[in-house]
Structure 1
């Protein structure tokens, strides 16, 4: 059921998608869905097929689509991102909209599933006639929805999908976050230089594009910095018992554990590690970023994760954003909220510069973004449509992320 109250959420079905005329898509990410309809190869071959010239739909509003995990196990990702986008839309409309047109935000819930992402993006473009799409947080779901945008010629900005393959899909796809080769380097550099650790273990989700990719990036960067991974352990979606992997790590004598997973897994991993007497730091990536970390109690104290911003950043624009977000939602904005806000703001800035609202003109303007002063830092979109920006490392203190360090982006 859809509600037409400015923001729509739905439980989309495969039948609805088949009516749209799509078939035989194989979505990459955490899982491959054999029954998914056609949307293009998510491994990047869509880049060889230029996006069609899509004229801007006529209308009284600037229609903006968003697909996100508003329900399901990773709902805090989608809800935070959606909140940030809604705040940006509210501000844009108060300032006159986009070239005099009110921004109409249409959001669909993909329930945290790649297949539902294909369905949602198809509906946004073919039925709702959106001019641009924002989403997704998870790389696997961006790898499912992105090829649809590329094939239909509508630009998509991912707020926070960090797997490099996401933007390799084609010229319609960009992002406002850094990518995992840099994020892996950030974790490795912090461990080697700040924590002074040289022997570590990794514990990652083998079924997740984000987790497995970041695990590889970390290992490569850590080796270059003189460190060694002496135990590499893996798990799969739905696993709740990590005792075997943690016992192997303990026996190996690791000084830390790199856990490039989502908050949904990290809380249990931390609790079980402490029960086994593994009182060593856990280090991870931006997938940790959630208020749900508080459910770990003190098990995550002294643990760290790389992220896109800190709410403690003293820059006036950051503190103003934090203040507005708290007033609207009653909580401190996490990195997902900040990235959702930035993605929308960069889109609006690009739309103001674009000669028309066609898909190609909008995408070209987005991809030309340079030195945009965003909440998550100064952003330049590079030739691969990735954001060049610094990263921060946050320490978990009683479930609350606190600023620990800044790792600068590499100089080109």
Structure 2
């Protein structure tokens, strides 16, 4: 009996030592993403991209010799859930960095908690201008573009094809929806709210009845263009309902921020002719011959039997950029990593990108796209060849400049530099 106890104690001690050694050779990184809720399709794509990057980095030796342990939580696209997740990921799991999310409200809430604990939060899919403007701080970095950049690249198309047209806006009632609407109005010259009306839909929790009511209001206004400031499943469902109601026969539809997940959920018939913007899609590396981007697309497609989305590419890029910053800083210490990120230029899945120092926005080329005819989409092996790139714009031209950024910060009562 004593022998058995000794063997058992020896086993427990050995297991504890192995666990301790593993912990010393690993770095915990928190992934706060929408496994459930209206943006869950973007969440799945993010998770796939994050896992690909983690596996590649770990196979190559990790970050400064430490293997990545991805600690995953479901944000449900709810700000209060996001905040609780980040608290736990830092306080209980000792995560050195948090990333993920497909809602600006989620990113802003999570970022505030990370700031209070001195950790970096990378926004993966957060398009509200506020994320790196009014609500920006030293600990928040955004890899994707923002509403301003998307609206700017769309402006040429809208002015060329819809100059003088009557617009109607259907807007998700939260920070991303508000700032996207304002940005599109600014660049499409539709600031006259009496002529170019709008209606709001709840977020989260909008139902088919909410979308039908909004679409009926739009139809009654007899617009030439409807701007659907909706995202994820909400956009896919609203556009499907609009198609069923026969609204696409006489009205053009604009979706300011498009993703492949949204297009796939709606289907090629519903998406045909819809115009939008995005910072990356799987076609970009092939249209512009970006070798690493093509390798990423092909590896992802082989693993998941579909193409990567903007969400996938963003999550993948963030992990590689965090690794690069830690290794340049020669430290996991947060302020040292922030200093290594600020102003840093890199090239990964597309052309040059830069973490702009004054606001932590990732400056990058952005694209206007139009959804292809159904007959073309279904010829593709995954039936996902949705986007025809109609134009592109450099990040420097598309992004809000320093003077406008300062102006917006002052309106919100914020200082003219990011706060620690």
1:194-233 aligned within 5 A? 195-223=161-189, 230-233=196-199
Q: Deviations over 1:196-238 (max 9, x none)?
A: 4431423333522111210111001111899996332322231
How many angstroms apart in 1 are the aligned matches of 2:221 and 2:191? 21
Q: 1:125 is matched with which residue?
A: 90
How many angstroms apart in 1 are the aligned matches of 2:38 and 2:199? 23
Q: 2:352 aligns to what SS in structure 1?
A: strand
2:353 equivalent to 1:379: yes
Structure 1: which 5+ runs fail to align?
A: 1-57
The 1:148/1:294 distance shift into structure 2, 3 A limit, reads closer
How many angstroms apart in 2 are the aligned matches of 1:360 and 1:179? 25
Q: 2:8 is matched with which residue?
A: none
Q: 1:350 is matched with which residue?
A: 325
How many angstroms apart in 2 are the aligned matches of 1:227 and 1:203? 10
Q: 1:402 is matched with which residue?
A: 387
Match of 1:234 among 193, 200, 207: 200
How many angstroms apart in 1 are the aligned matches of 2:329 and 2:190? 42
2:56 equivalent to 1:91: yes
Q: 1:182 is matched with which residue?
A: 149
1:314-353 aligned within 5 A? 314=286, 315-353=290-328
The 1:77/1:369 distance shift into structure 2, 3 A limit, reads same
Match of 1:308 among 233, 257, 279: 279
Q: Residue 300 of structure 1: CA displacement?
A: 2.2
How many angstroms apart in 2 are the aligned matches of 1:403 and 1:226? 31
Q: Is this contact kept in 2: 1:192–1:225, CA < 8 A? A: no
The 1:230/1:292 distance shift into structure 2, 3 A limit, reads closer
Q: Is this contact kept in 2: 1:70–1:111, CA < 8 A? A: yes
How many angstroms apart in 2 are the aligned matches of 1:192 and 1:297? 26
Q: Residue 271 of structure 1: CA displacement?
A: 3.1
Q: 1:146 aligns to what SS in structure 2?
A: helix
TM-score (normalised: structure 1) = 0.79
CA RMSD of aligned residues (A): 2.5
Q: Deviations over 1:370-408 (max 9, x none)?
A: 2x1132542111110001111112333447422222331
Q: Residue 355 of structure 1: CA displacement?
A: 3.3
Q: Deviations over 1:295-342 (max 9, x none)?
A: 355122111221111211222211110011012212111111111111
Q: Is this contact kept in 2: 1:62–1:131, CA < 8 A? A: yes
Match of 1:365 among 340, 350, 374: 340
TM-score (normalised: structure 2) = 0.77
Q: 1:60 is matched with which residue?
A: 25
Q: 1:125 aligns to what SS in structure 2?
A: helix
Q: Is this contact kept in 1: 2:233–2:262, CA < 8 A? A: no
The count of residues paired between Structure 1 and Structure 2 equals: 353
Q: Is this contact kept in 2: 1:367–1:381, CA < 8 A? A: yes
Q: Is this contact kept in 2: 1:200–1:228, CA < 8 A? A: no
Q: Is this contact kept in 1: 2:235–2:262, CA < 8 A? A: no
Q: Residue 69 of structure 1: CA displacement?
A: 0.5
Over alpha carbons, which structure has the higher Rg?
2
